[in-house]
Structure 1
Amino acid sequence: MTISERETITAHLAAGPVEYRLEGDGPQTVVIFHGGHMRAALALGEEVFTTSGHRVLAPSRPGYGRTLLATATTPAAFADVTADLCHTLGTEQVAAVVGISAGGRTAVTMAARHPHLVRRVILQSAVGFGPWPDDRRTYLGGRLVFNARVEAASWAVVRLLMRAAPRAGLRLLLRDLSTRPVRQVMDGLSEHDQAELLALFTLMRSGAGFVNDMLPVPDCTTQVTQPALIIATRTDRSVPFTHAESLAAAISQAELVESRADGHMIWFAPDYPAITEKIKDFLATA
């Protein structure tokens, strides 16, 4: 993967503006809901879909990029907006909705609300419907550091640190993503992977979206009837493995795949190639 900022488009729908990006030219579309601090312009882990012949539709979730928070303040509302976007683009069925991290609840909600549009669900390090962040200190810290009034300054400090002392900056951010000692996490990353993560963290912003992501959301997992593939690791400090377990227990056709990653960023783990094969097989099922 190569982390860089990519060109996006803004659709002006009835609910409001939605920023999105299209990648690939396959006959089937996969909708990807990004995680916290991300947006449509940043691609993470999409190669498995484009190389398997799928087109990727990646919208910026509300409060991120050029999608206003007012467009849809809840996962349910944005699921409906995304369904409208799909129809506007001429997509009457999607091969899968993919929920990454904080985007997981939107993916699940879209599958529940639009079963005729969504064929499958893929969740990666996904937030479930329990309290999140689980730790009150982390929750309060997130609201303080990443609220819309100060997040630009917070990320400016991160970028400055990444330029001045990249390894120290990377250790600082990875510490909150893994339950393992940060030295062990760093040792498990190649120089290329470290460079990719540095590029990713440098481009992140929180907008008005991250604080909104932390609000409670009605649980609709039991309403999901499509097959679901849930991928997570027990060493994730950001989204504990219990979230994946609760999602797998509540979705009737769910399969839980345990990643051996050293933390939240499962795409940089040695076993990710095997997981990509699992994803491809899942997408190929009738």
Structure 2
Amino acid sequence: MHYIAEWNGQRFEYRDSGSGPVILLIHGTQSDYREVYHVEKLIAAGYRVIVPSRPGYGQTPLQLADSPEALATFYSKWLASRQIKQYTVYGISAGGPTAIALAGMDPGVHALVLACAMTHRISLPYHRLLIQPVLQRPLQFIQWGLWTYVKDKIRKFPEEAAVRMVEMTSLLPRETIRTHISETDASLLYEVGLQNGPGRGVLFDITQDIERERLEAVTCPVLIVHSKSDRAVPFEHSEHARRSIPHAQFIESKSPGHLIWIGPSARRDERMIERFIAFNQMT
């Protein structure tokens, strides 16, 4: 179910679906509460999955929080107010820093999953220029134009558009990517491409950082899943997390790019995540 909530003087939106042990899923860039990666399978596996739209996405204002720590504090207190005392945090891509901060500060988090997740500030060309306030409106317009173009191509050429979508976040050549994408993958990417879109949250994502001390503070069980072919969030982010959280478990995804839910190991990776979550629900 989709909700618009007012809590502690803040307005935000979220999805709350399924029943059973709670998973707080923190989505990545240019997504929102409608995140599709793994969500329905987790619900079918017997979990209650809560997906808030992060700051600047959907109907959640950018002003909700100005850092991963502030957003983690907000989520922790909001969940406590709803009598949710224990839960798993599942951080995807740019949702990683908030997931890490939350796992390190809230003793109610009994497991953390980091899926192709940022674990420190992302390195971008022209970073200082991109965050200038005067450029935010023009950049929003550019995002809108690009997504309008992408969605048009997805509708007209869904199979080729799927390849190009993966290529944007992959270190592999296009022809290799083409051999790794199944009909199921193409269908998922079609859904993602039409659902995702521009948002002011990109500014939150490219300015956020997480100190190593935050990673070192995580004592709950941790599972890291990442692909060496990831261009958007380089594999080094997983290595950084593994150095900082020595007890973390690791799975190398065979995804052809950033999205571990795409490619030959996608279902294996999802099952391993589900087993990790289930095991740590019992301990």
Query: Normalising by structure 2, what TM-score?
Result: 0.89
Give the paired residue count. Answer: 275
Q: Which of 102, 109, 115 is equivalent to 2:101?
A: 109
Cα distance per residue 1:98-127 (max 9 Å; x no partner): 10011011100111121x221110000001
Query: Counterpart in 2 of 1:126?
Result: 117
Residue identity matched to 1:233: S
C-alpha displacement of 1:144: 8.0
C-alpha displacement of 1:186: 2.0
Distance 2:28 2:186 in 1: 19
The SS at the match of 2:172 is coil
Consecutive unaligned residues of structure 1, counting only runs of 5 or more, are: 1-6
Distance 2:128 2:250 in 1: 27
The SS at the match of 2:63 is helix
Distance 1:182 1:37 in 2: 23
User: Higher mean Cα deviation, 118-127 or 70-79?
Assistant: 70-79
C-alpha displacement of 1:152: 2.4
Q: Which of 28, 38, 42 is equivalent to 1:45?
A: 38
Residue identity matched to 1:264: H
Query: Counterpart in 2 of 1:77?
Result: 70
Distance 2:136 2:6 in 1: 32
The SS at the match of 1:171 is helix
User: Higher mean Cα deviation, 105-114 or 190-199?
Assistant: 190-199
Cα distance per residue 1:142-196 (max 9 Å; x no partner): 9889943443232112112223333443333322211111222122112232122
Q: Which of 171, 187, 193 is equivalent to 2:179?
A: 187
Relative to structure 1, the CA distance from residue 145 to residue 181 in structure 2 (aligned partners, 3 Å threshold; closer, same or farther) is farther
Residue identity matched to 1:124: A
Query: Normalising by structure 1, what TM-score?
Result: 0.88
Residue identity matched to 2:218: V
Distance 1:171 1:140 in 2: 30
Distance 1:140 1:278 in 2: 40
Residue identity matched to 1:281: R
Query: Counterpart in 2 of 1:262?
Result: 256
User: Higher mean Cα deviation, 60-69 or 47-56?
Assistant: 47-56
C-alpha displacement of 1:266: 1.0
Bigger share in helix: 2
Matched, 1:64 2:78: no
User: Higher mean Cα deviation, 190-199 or 168-177?
Assistant: 168-177
C-alpha displacement of 1:216: 3.9
> Is the CA contact (8 Å cut-off) linking 1:146 and 1:206 kept in structure 2?
no
C-alpha displacement of 1:128: 1.2
Distance 1:102 1:268 in 2: 18
Residue identity matched to 2:190: L
Distance 1:145 1:188 in 2: 37
> Is the CA contact (8 Å cut-off) linking 1:147 and 1:210 kept in structure 2?
no
Query: Matched residues, percent identical?
Result: 28
> Is the CA contact (8 Å cut-off) linking 2:119 and 2:210 kept in structure 1?
no
Distance 1:137 1:175 in 2: 22
Distance 2:198 2:58 in 1: 9
> Is the CA contact (8 Å cut-off) linking 1:147 and 1:207 kept in structure 2?
no
The SS at the match of 1:35 is coil
Residue identity matched to 2:203: V
The SS at the match of 1:158 is helix
Distance 1:137 1:174 in 2: 23
Query: Counterpart in 1 of 2:156?
Result: 164
Q: CA RMSD in A?
A: 2.3
The SS at the match of 1:37 is coil
Relative to structure 1, the CA distance from residue 146 to residue 55 in structure 2 (aligned partners, 3 Å threshold; closer, same or farther) is farther
Query: Counterpart in 1 of 2:25?
Result: 32
Residue identity matched to 2:115: Q
> Is the CA contact (8 Å cut-off) linking 2:15 and 2:34 kept in structure 1?
yes
C-alpha displacement of 1:79: 0.7
C-alpha displacement of 1:89: 2.6
